Amino acid sequence: MLKYVSYDIVFQEVPGEVTLALNLSGCPNRCQGCHSPHLREDAGRPLDRAEIDLLVERYGRQVTCLCFMGGDGDPAEVARLARHVRRISRLKTAWYSGRMPLPAGFDTAAMDYIKLGPYIPSRGGLDSPQTNQRMYRIVRDGNDTPAFEDITARFRRNPPGA
């Protein structure tokens, strides 16, 4: 069972989107210099379809995207809940994973955006030119095999070519 400890409406986590970000607990990763150690605990409210219904009902008109921040303990459930978001709303869906590569068999088509990679202090976050993390937009062009467009550079203040 996924759980979440908090949520917020944010503007920078997913480029071009106003995002309802859900902070999931139970993170199984152990990044050195973890910026959110409280998310490694088993804490918070259960996140199931009924809870998603409530959040989308309350905030769905204020945002364009719903992002699962974490959930590496059960990626398949993250994807199932993202599919549910799609069924009940027009919101885009995003997932912030602290791992790389994507788990085998992950339902990529459930997402519009996927961020991959652990946090490494010496490399910095998505806005660092040295970052190991990647943000992808999932491109569906009519066939069943989504493509990954790397949009990590959009997090930098002066992206190449800007």
Q: Using CB under 6 A, list all residues that contact ligand SF4.
A: 27, 29-31, 34-36, 39-40, 98, 118-119
CB-nearer residue toward ligand SF4: 29 or 132: 29
CB of 157 to ligand SF4, least distance (A): 23
CB of 43 to ligand SF4, least distance (A): 12
34, HSE (Cβ side, Cα atoms, 13 Å):
13
CB-nearer residue toward ligand SF4: 23 or 146: 23
CB of 162 to ligand SF4, least distance (A): 28
CB-nearer residue toward ligand SF4: 40 or 134: 40
Longest dimension (CA), the chain: 44
Computed from CA positions of residues 108, 19, 9, 130, in that sequence, does the dihedral angle turn out positive or negative?
A: positive
CB-nearer residue toward ligand SF4: 38 or 58: 38
CB of 108 to ligand SF4, least distance (A): 19
Q: What are φ and ψ of residue 70, in 5° steps?
A: 105, -165
CB 135 within 8 A of CB 156: no
CA distance 18 to 25: 22
